[in-house]
């Protein structure tokens, strides 16, 4: 499967990139960077650093710096750390971004791999909305968009109603749900069932000291955040779960429904059913133990 991950690395984004690299089913052909957990420049720098650390190289295209219609953005440093990778105080600049915007790269790759390209979007959906605007054929050319974002029956995580990726650019997310893109939404209903425990990270560090050890190290910060908000049994591998939905959709239970995003008020960023729109496959359940076990196995295989 030809895959591009649209990402804001981000601790669980790093897990997703590592997992995609380790999945034999996946041909990872690029990463596109968005603001979100970090500013966009930090996202693309972190994406390049993560690839280098994991011993591979793919094009990294930098995308949107701000949500639709906004002039300012504050990243989620309390969840992912000041540079996006836990307590790492400095992240080296390795290599360079490609000389093309994320939206232009997505549009070009979708045309070159027409009907084949899967995009796993694990950040605010601004780059995807930009690609839809840039090329009317984009929605048709993409095989499938798999989103980590939204909360369907589950409560929100950034507000009582909204999940962070959707909340951070509700307008862009609504444009995506209004589009003709064939879409799966892997929201909190599924990702909160895929928790990694401190013991899992201990095992990763022991059995795969380089890559597993890196993931374990940066995840200390992430575990501490989740403990601080009352999740005491681990931290969700949100973005890695979306990668698994690309390769193993049969392990998920989906409900098909049109969706829209609430664009104002207390419920800003909430994803709600809208029968006037094209159905999205919304994940309402996943085989959580299977997902964690496969993540562990694949990361350990990286060493
Ligand atoms: O709500 C979880 C999502 O928000 C994940 O993509 C995580 O990386 C954060 O950006
Ligand atoms: Ca993310």
What are the tens digits of pLDDT across the range 62-102? 999 999 999 999 998 999 999 999 999 999 999 999 999 99
pLDDT of amino acid 303: 87
Strands 27-33 and 60-62: parallel
Looking at the CA of 225, name the nearest ligand. Answer: 1
Residues with CB under 6 A from ligand 1: 8, 10, 12-13, 36-37, 122, 148, 157, 163-165, 238-239
pLDDT at 5: 99
Atom of ligand 1 nearest to the CA of 11: 8
* Distance (Å) from CA 49 to ligand 2 centroid: 16
DSSP state of 250: G
Calpha distance 188→285 (Å, rounded): 10
Q: In CATH, which of 3.40.50.2300, 2.130.10.10, 3.90.245.10, 3.10.20.90 is domain 2-302?
A: 3.90.245.10
CA 160 – ligand 1 centroid, Å: 15
Q: Give the integer Cα–Cα distance in Å for 165 and 276.
A: 23
Question: For 198-242, how does the pLDDT look when each residue is reduced to its tens digit (9 = 90+)?
Answer: 999 999 999 999 999 999 999 999 999 999 999 999 999 999 999
How do the domains of the chain map onto residue ranges? 2-302
Tell me if the bond preceding 126 is cis, omega within 30° of 0: no
**Ligand 1 binding pocket mutation candidate from 5, 7, 9, 10 (most atoms within 8 A of CB):** 10
Which atom of ligand 1 is closest in space to residue 165's alpha carbon? 4
Which listed ligand is nearest to 43 at the C-alpha?
2
**φ, ψ at 144 (rounded to 5°):** -165, 145
Listed in sequence order, the DSSP H helices in the chain are: 11-22, 40-54, 77-80, 102-112, 126-134, 138-141, 164-168, 170-177, 188-191, 198-207, 211-228, 238-247, 288-302
CA angle 143, 169, 216 (to 5 degrees): 75
Report the nearest-CA residue for atom 1 of ligand 1: 164
DSSP state of 99: S
Whether the model clears a pTM of 0.95, i.e. scores above it, the answer is yes
Active site residues: 238
pLDDT at 293 over 90: yes
50 token code pair = 């993560």
Q: Is 251 helix (H, G, I), strand (E, B) or coil?
A: helix
């Amino acid at each position: 499967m030809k895959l591009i991950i649209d990402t804001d690395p981000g601790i669980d984004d790093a897990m997703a990139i590592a997992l995609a690299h380790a999945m034999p089913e996946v041909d990872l052909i690029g990463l596109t960077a968005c603001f979100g957990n970090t500013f966009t420049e930090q996202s693309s720098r972190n994406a390049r650093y993560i690839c280098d650390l994991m011993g591979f190289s793919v094009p990294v295209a930098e995308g949107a710096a701000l949500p639709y219609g906004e002039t300012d953005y504050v990243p989620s440093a309390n969840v992912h750390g000041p540079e996006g990778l836990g307590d790492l105080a400095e992240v080296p600049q390795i290599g360079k971004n490609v000389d093309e915007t994320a939206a232009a790269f997505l549009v070009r790759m979708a045309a070159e791999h027409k009907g084949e390209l899967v995009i796993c979007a694990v950040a605010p959906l601004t780059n995807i909305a930009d690609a839809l605007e840039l090329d009317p054929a984009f929605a048709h050319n993409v095989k499938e968009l798999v989103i980590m974002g939204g909360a369907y029956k589950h409560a929100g995580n950034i507000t009582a109603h909204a999940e962070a990726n959707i909340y951070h650019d509700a307008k862009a997310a609504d444009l995506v749900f209004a589009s003709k893109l064939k879409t799966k939404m892997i929201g909190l209903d599924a990702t909160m069932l895929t928790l990694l425990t401190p013991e899992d990270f201990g095992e990763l560090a022991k059995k795969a000291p380089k890559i597993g050890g890196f993931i374990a190290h940066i995840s200390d910060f992430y575990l501490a955040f989740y403990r601080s908000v009352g999740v005491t049994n681990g931290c969700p591998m949100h973005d890695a779960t979306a990668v698994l939905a690309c390769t193993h959709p049969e392990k998920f239970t989906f409900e098909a429904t049109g969706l829209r995003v609430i664009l104002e008020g207390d419920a800003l960023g909430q994803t709600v059913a809208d029968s006037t729109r094209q159905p999205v496959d919304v994940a309402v359940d996943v085989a959580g133990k299977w997902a964690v076990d496969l993540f562990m196995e694949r990361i350990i295989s990286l060493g």
